[in-house]
């Protein structure tokens, strides 16, 4: 199964307090967890307020199963949807907050058969959604040299992208993670081979981003999510890669439906990084949907009656 010998889904949620604070939970609010994973963040949202409800999305079958098991105690306060958040259609539903904790979970990365890591021998897969046709093998064995080099350079910031792409095209087909990692290690200079990270690290990151179209789906989410929020509703994004963080920052800044709450990204504390190495590169940004009334019916009504008492009219009538 996933993530550990015992079959448990083990993923430590990143920046849980900051994520919950960023969502600014409202009593009775409706929240969208666009990347439920093992359900850690959703669990906190549901536990924080007794009447809050969550719609939980993940494209990974095993993640949805793990989250369903973890959140079963909340009954129908949580609903699941398996699919890509870029394809999600909320219909008439509007959310008081949306959370996206991007990238892969620890169980995805650590389960050898998923093919995300060059540390375990496995088929070149890397799909978050097991129904998808394109795998890492498709890209490695069929894309042309220039596209491979550009992918390694752009998504992996790999400065030897051309050399590695050439070696791959000359030696393919590749079937397993370890075969590919060994070929990359063979084609780079000795100094690179004995560097701080394995010489295949950046190429594997780039491949994962390409297989799952991670930047394209983030772009779609950033375009659509503001329309899924009630006025005053919050959008909280946790990213792990400078390309993603830059995209989030620019969208938040240029989107006239949003007001930026975090001028600078929030990062994990030293204590969290010491306990959860995944949090080291996390950047959390928050924006709020502009316009309209306060999403909390109680506060809204209180404001209306205060305005009425002051001037005999509600603020929307003035």
Ligand X SMILES: C[S@@+](CC[C@H](N)C(=O)[O-])C[C@H]1O[C@@H](n2cnc3c(N)ncnc32)[C@H](O)[C@@H]1O
Residues near ligand X (CB under 6 A) are 11, 13, 35, 37-41, 57-60, 63, 84-86, 101, 103-105, 128, 217
Write down the least CB distance from residue 268 to ligand X, Å. 13
Backbone angles phi, psi at 167, to 5 degrees: -60, -40
Nearest-approach distance from CB 33 to ligand X, in angstroms: 7
> Which residue reads 């083990």 in tokens?
10
**Of the two residues 86 and 267, which places its CB atom closer to ligand X in the complex?**
86
Distance, CA of 78 to CA of 310 (rounded, Å):
41
The CA distance from 119 to 133, in Å, is 24
Tell me how far, at minimum, the Cβ of 195 lies from ligand X, in Å. Answer: 27
Nearest to 156 by CA among 173, 128, 136: 136
Strand order in the sheet with 283-289: 78-82, 53-58, 30-33, 95-101, 229-239, 283-289, 258-260
CB of 220 to ligand X, least distance (A): 9
Q: Which is nearer to ligand X, 97 or 103 (CB)?
A: 103
Cα three-residue angle 271-276-281, rounded to 5 degrees: 90
Smallest distance from the beta carbon of 299 to ligand X, in angstroms?
28
In the complex with ligand X, the residue whose CB is nearer, 79 or 317, is: 79
As measured in angstroms, the least distance from the Cβ of 218 to ligand X is 8
Say whether 287 sits in a helix, a strand or coil.
Answer: strand
For strands 53-58 and 78-82, give the pairing: parallel
Which residues touch 202 (CB under 8 Å, ≥6 apart)?
Answer: 152, 156, 157, 158
Minimum CB distance to ligand X smaller for 44 or for 259: 44
Residue number with the smallest Cβ distance to ligand X:
37
Residue 39 or 233 with smaller CB distance to ligand X: 39
Identity of the residue, 57 or 137, whose beta carbon is nearer to ligand X in the bound complex:
57
């Amino acid at each position: 199964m996933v993530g550990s010998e015992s079959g448990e889904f083990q993923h430590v949620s990143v920046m849980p307090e900051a994520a919950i604070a960023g969502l600014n939970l409202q009593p009775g609010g409706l929240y969208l967890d666009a990347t439920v994973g093992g359900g850690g963040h959703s669990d906190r949202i549901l536990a924080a307020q007794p009447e809050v409800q969550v719609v939980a999305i993940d494209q990974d079958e095993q993640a949805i199963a793990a989250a369903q098991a973890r959140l079963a105690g909340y009954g129908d306060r949580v609903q699941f949807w398996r699919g890509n958040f870029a394809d999600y259609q909320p219909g008439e539903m509007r959310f008081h907050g949306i959370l996206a904790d991007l990238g892969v979970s620890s169980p995805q990365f650590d389960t050898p058969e998923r093919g995300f890591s060059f540390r375990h021998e496995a088929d070149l897969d890397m799909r978050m959604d097991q129904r998808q046709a394109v795998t890492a093998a498709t890209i490695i064995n069929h894309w042309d040299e220039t596209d491979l080099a550009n992918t390694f350079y752009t998504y992996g910031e790999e400065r030897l992208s051309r050399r590695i792409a050439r070696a791959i095209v000359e030696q393919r087909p590749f079937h397993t993670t370890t075969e590919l990692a060994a070929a990359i290690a063979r084609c780079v200079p000795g100094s690179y081979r004995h560097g701080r990270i394995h010489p295949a690290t950046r190429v594997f990151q780039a491949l994962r981003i390409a297989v799952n179209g991670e930047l394209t789906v983030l772009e779609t989410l950033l375009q659509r999510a503001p329309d899924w929020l009630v006025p005053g509703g919050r959008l909280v994004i946790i990213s792990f890669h400078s390309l993603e963080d830059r995209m989030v920052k620019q969208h938040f800044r240029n989107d006239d439906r949003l007001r930026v709450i975090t001028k600078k990204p929030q990062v994990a504390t030293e204590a969290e990084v010491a306990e959860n190495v995944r949090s080291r590169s996390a950047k959390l940004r928050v924006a709020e949907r502009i316009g309209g009334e306060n999403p909390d019916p109680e506060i809204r009504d209180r404001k209306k009656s205060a305005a009425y008492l002051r001037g005999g009219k509600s603020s929307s009538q003035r």
